[in-house]
Amino acid sequence: MNLAELNKIAEAMVAPGKGILAADESSGTIKKRFDAIGVESTEDNRRDYREMMFRSSDAMSKCISGVILYDETIWQKAKDGTPLVDIIKKSGSIPGIKVDEGTKPLPNCPGELITIGLDKLADRLTKYYEQGARFAKWRAVIDIGAGIPTHSAIHANAHALARYAALCQAAQIVPIVEPEVLMDGDHDVDRCHAVSEWVLKETFQELYYNRVALEGIVLKPNMAVSGKKSAKKASVEEVAEKTVRMLKNCVPGAVPGIAFLSGGQSDEEATAHLDAMNKIGNLPWKLTFSYGRALQAAPQKAWSGKSENVAAAQRAFTHRAMMNGLASLGQWKQDLEKKAA
C-alpha cells in the first residue's frame, strides 16, 4: 500500500469547491428514475444519460472531483467510441466504482439488512484499477424503527465496511466508507443524531481493528436530519449544528474529508445543509457532497430521454453542481437559486 498516493487521491476527491457525483444507481434504481420520466431503461439510454452528464464540461471541470460508476458504466463506451472513463479523466475528474452487491436480510435481526459483496472483491478491485478506477464505494444501510437498529446489525455492517476498506487500500484504491442511517422513519433529529453517532463510533472502531489508514479514506455519512414522516422537522441551522457536533465526536482529524450523501433530501435542502455546516467553520476535515438524486433530479427531468434536450439537461446539471460547489465553501446563497430559475 502506497499511503502517500492514496492520501493524494483522497485529498483530490474533497478538493475545495468540488464534490463527488454519485452516478452508480443499480439497474433497478435507475429503472425507477427512468420510469418517472417516461424513458425505457435500456443499456444505450443509460449510457446516453450518463454521457450527457460526463460531457457537461463546466460542471465536471469546475465542481466534480470524482464520479462513482456502476459496474455496467465503467466498461461502457460513449456513442463515438470513447470509453466513458476517459471522458471523466479528460475533464480532470477521478473515476470511481461501486463495489458492494446490494443488501440481504440479516439473519435473526428482523427488519435489518447486511451489505454483501466481499467474496472475490480483491479480484474485482484489481480489474477495476486496471480499468481506471482510483476509488470505490460500499454502502451500509441502517434503518431506524421500533426496536431497531440493534447492535448486531450495526456491528455486522461496520465490520463489513472495514474489511472492504482494507481490501481497497491493498489494491491501491481509496475507499469511500458509507454508513447510511436512513431518513425514512418518523424519528426526530435527536434520534437520528444518537443512532448516527453510534454507527460512526462502531465504524471507526472496526476501521482501526482492520488497520485501515484513515489518511487514505473518504467518509460518506448521512446528515443528522428528521425522518421523512416526523411531525417535527429540524431547521437548516439545527441540522448543521447537530451534524457537525456528531462528526466532531466521532471522526478523527486524520480523515481528509467527509462527502455527505443526500439520502432523499430535496436538491436545495441538501445544498442549504452543506452550506450551513461549512459556514460554522473551524473544522478538522473538508466537508463536501457526494450526491446522487440531489444532483441528478433536475437534469433527469430536463433530459427526459430526448437528444434535443441534452443542452438544457446539461445546464440543469451544471447549475446544481455549481450550487453545491459553493455550499462546500460556505458561499451559497438562496437568491442564487432564484436567479437560475
Q: Tens digit of pLDDT for each residue in 80-129?
A: 999 999 999 999 999 999 999 999 999 999 999 999 999 999 999 999 99
Mean pLDDT across the stretch 283-301?
96
Q: What is the pLDDT of residue 338?
A: 80
209-248 core/surface letters (b: 16 or more CB in 10 A; e: else): ebebbbbbbbbbbbbbbbbeebeeebeeebbbbbbbebbe
- The CATH superfamily label for domain 3-340 reads Aldolase class I (3.20.20.70)
Measured distance CA(47)–CA(108) in Å, rounded: 40
pLDDT tens digit sequence for 163-175: 999 999 999 999 9
Residue 305 scores a pLDDT above 70: yes
Percent of the chain with pLDDT over 70: 99
- Ordered by start, the domain boundaries in the chain are 3-340
Mean pLDDT across the stretch 257-285?
96
- The structure's pTM equals 0.97
Compute the C-alpha angle 245/20/199, nearest 5°.
35
Mean pLDDT across the stretch 216-227?
97
Measured distance CA(207)–CA(164) in Å, rounded: 10
Measured distance CA(98)–CA(25) in Å, rounded: 9
Contact 324, 19 (CB under 8 A): yes
pLDDT tens digit sequence for 61-83: 999 999 999 999 999 999 999 99
Catalytic residue positions, numbered: 178, 220
Mean pLDDT of the chain: 97
Residue 149 scores a pLDDT above 90: yes
Q: How confident is the model at residue 341 (pLDDT cuts 50, 70, 90)?
A: low
Q: How confident is the model at residue 340 (pLDDT cuts 50, 70, 90)?
A: low
Residue 280 scores a pLDDT above 80: yes
